[in-house]
Amino acid sequence: MVKYSEEEKKEAEETLRRLLENNRIIYTVVRKVSQNGMYRHISCYVIRNNEPRNIDFQVSRLLDLPLKEDGIGIGGCGMDMGFAIVYDVGRALFPKGDGHTIIGRNGDKEPETDGGYLIKQKWL
């Protein structure tokens, strides 16, 4: 695991909060998969002013993941790693939920308390 400073993480958090303010969707793209399928490089984007904006730099710092030449390096197999990255971003930005977003996950009628579900993930 990479270790970024608290200052770098805070800066990344502030930037991501601002970028996700009006539209909580992160788009993901798999750039590279290792031969054994256990490691991949994934890029993350948000749409601002109808243009995609790469947020790999901020996401890698927020989550202590390595930034590669073509995406964020992440290991894992057997689950959707794009979803895993976006879920972890949501948990980091909204550790106790946001107190007012009601999304009805599993039929819930209460505010979402798991910040991991407050950002949607879509594959490009």
Which secondary-structure segment (H or E) carries 91? helix 81-93
pTM as predicted: 0.92
Write out the E strands in 1-124.
25-33, 39-48, 51-54, 67-68, 71-75, 120-123
Q: How large is the average pLDDT for residues 8-36?
A: 96
Residue 101 confidence (pLDDT): 73
In the chain, the percentage of residues whose pLDDT exceeds 90 is 80
Q: What is the distance between the alpha carbons of residues 64 and 52, in angstroms, rounded to a whole number?
A: 23
Helices (runs of H) and strands (runs of E) counted in the chain:
3, 6
Q: What is the distance between the alpha carbons of residues 85 and 104, in angstroms, rounded to a whole number?
A: 22
Q: What is the distance between the alpha carbons of residues 79 and 88, in angstroms, rounded to a whole number?
A: 14
Residue 103 confidence (pLDDT): 67
Q: How large is the average pLDDT for residues 51-72?
A: 97
Q: pLDDT tens-digit profile of 75-93?
A: 998 889 999 999 999 999 9
Q: How large is the average pLDDT for residues 10-21?
A: 97
Q: What is the distance between the alpha carbons of residues 44 and 123, in angstroms, rounded to a whole number?
A: 9
When pLDDT is cut at 50, 70 and 90, the band that residue 1 belongs to is low
Q: How large is the average pLDDT for residues 33-62?
A: 96
Structure tokens at 56: 């790999």
